[in-house]
Structure 1
């Protein structure tokens, strides 16, 4: 029984020990990036991690706790110090995303957002508040059209156009009213973020494209497309950003996953 207890104790403590090692490695990598760039580095990385000893994965998205922590980090940053935000997220609450975007836009020094893989929905909203967006060459952003529960706001409005009024339920009409307001609110907010970066006509056009629901919510928007609209976008991430992504591991899966030898290869030219 004693051996069983010891084994059970080790089984529960080893994941905690591993997680602590990961936290230490994250802080070291962040400090190195801050030293190289002379900035405050903030990470907003949402992935599945096995945080409990039962190994149950928790899905993450932008929420109020995220906005509270980021706003606190911004308050602790001197006005003359740049901010680098490493962003990897599927999106989340509009309120939280807007709070983060406004706080970043108000920061007097330069704000740079690094996107190693994707920053969708609310993540895109945060990117638009930055002075510069730096992407991996394959990274993407996404539309910011509002979602009401399980349905896109734009799709709810389409139902009102297609069906006759007497065949539409009161609940659907109420949802359509909320959808109309939500789309207009997001358009107005995106335009306000873009006005310091471009003229009013182009800001109006881009906010309309991103928020009106012409695409599905997971439509990938490339950096090249954003550059055509005059946004400050470039490619090429510091190696520390990729190291940090490795320190936010996905939860293990029972099915086969991606495998490769994790070292860079080089081609040697042999003269014959």
Structure 2
């Protein structure tokens, strides 16, 4: 067979198109095996929501995601399909997303009769924290993070918009600022009410209201990292120590960077030479 330049180009193009698809299929198979292993070991139903950049398009472009209505639909369907006596383990890694979707998922978590455990390998911020509040147990790593659930209006903290309005006489506040502050008041009240609703089955109402106030008041920036110690002090049901199976599962969600900024060599056990 004669190979000309056009044939070589076609083969190269075909490889470029198929490579990310084949890699995606391979990782999907390995994830399924890892999830099944966790389910067998813990006797639970495992649901994952991992929002990490991943090559998904034909040409390998990176796509990142947040909590959306499609996530809510999928997770609610999975929870409803789980028998009432079967515990659920949710592996959660997300920067947050839509409040309405996060609240839908949180209500479904709270409504499941059996125990629901949320695993936070790295972080579950904003809407992810809202989901975790509905769980019976939150399992974190030593350096895992939760975060405040104060709503954001056009990328600005609702609490900060309210504070800016209240800092000056009303006649000196513009109409648009008043409108934004009104929306901020409503958004904060809605999130606070929802947080209390999903926490009261496990917490006394006064404690749930105090915790919801702390997490929505804007006393921290929206990206503030709540450590396991701080989360425990706030009254959340925190357990520190992630199962190895969950840690292994996270390695199957790689971030597609050309070259990592972090490098390290495999650990060399005493008495054994590597390399």
TM-score range, shorter chain: over 0.9
Q: CA deviation at 1:159?
A: 1.6
Aligned-residue offset at 1:244:
1.4
Map 1:44-55 → 2, pairs under 5 A: 44-55=49-60
Correspondence for 1:258? 262
Match of 2:252 in 1: 247
CA distance in 2, matches of 1:13, 1:200: 54
Q: Tell me, in whole angstroms, the C-alpha distance in 2 between the residues paired with 1:216 and 1:227.
A: 19
Aligned pairs, number: 266
- Residue 163 of structure 1 and its aligned partner are, at CA, apart by 2.8
Give deviations 1:99-143, integer Å, cap 9, x for gaps.
Answer: 000001000000000000000000001111000011111101000
Correspondence 1:78 to 2:83: yes
Q: Distance in 2 between matches of 1:211 and 1:266?
A: 47
Distance of aligned partners of 1:112 and 1:265 in 2 relative to their CA distance in 1, 3 Å threshold:
farther
- Quote the Cα distance in structure 1 between the aligned partners of 2:267 and 2:141: 17
C-alpha distance in structure 1 between counterparts of 2:12 and 2:50, whole Å: 33
Does residue 189 of the first structure (1) align with residue 225 of the second (2)? no
Deviations 1:33-52 (A, max 9, x none): 00101111000000011212
Task: Give a deviation string over 1:151-206, Cα, whole Å, max 9, x none.
Answer: 11011111211233233221211111110011111111111222222222222211
Q: Say whether the 8 Å CA contact 1:197–1:231 is kept in structure 2.
A: no
For 1:206 and 1:265, how far apart are their aligned partners in 2? 45
Q: Secondary structure at the match of 1:221?
A: coil
**Consecutive aligned runs of 4 or more in structure 1 exceeding 3 Å deviation:** 263-268
After superposition, the CA RMSD in angstroms is 1.4
Partner of 1:180 in structure 2?
185
Tell me which of 203, 211, 219 is aligned to 1:206: 211
Q: Is there any run of 5+ residues in structure 2 with no aligned partner, and where?
A: 1-5
Query: Which of the residues 41, 46, 55 maps onto 2:46?
Result: 41
**Which of 103, 128, 137 is matched with 2:142 structurally?**
137
Aligned 8 A contact 1:202 1:229 in 2: no
Equivalence for 1:89? 94
Q: TM-score, normalised by structure 1?
A: 0.94
Normalization by structure 2: what TM-score?
0.93
Aligned mates of 1:232, 1:264 — CA distance in 2 = 34
Does residue 157 (structure 1) correspond to residue 155 (structure 2)? The answer is: no
2-structure distance, mates of 1:165, 1:198: 39
1:8 is displaced (CA, Å) by 1.2
Contact 2:121–2:141 (CA under 8 A) maintained in structure 1: yes
2:204 and 2:13 map into 1 onto residues whose CA distance is: 63
Q: For structure 1, which segment, 214-223 or 195-204, has the greater mean C-alpha deviation from structure 2 after superposition?
A: 195-204
- Identify the residue that residue 74 of structure 2 maps to in structure 1: 69
How big is each residue's C-alpha offset from its partner over 1:191-234, in whole Å with a ceiling of 9 and x where there is no partner?
Answer: 12222222222222111100111110000111112222333211
SS at match of 2:67: coil
Q: 1:264/1:233 Cα in 2 relative to 1: closer, same or farther (>3 Å)?
A: farther
Q: Say which SS state the counterpart of residue 98 (structure 1) adopts.
A: helix
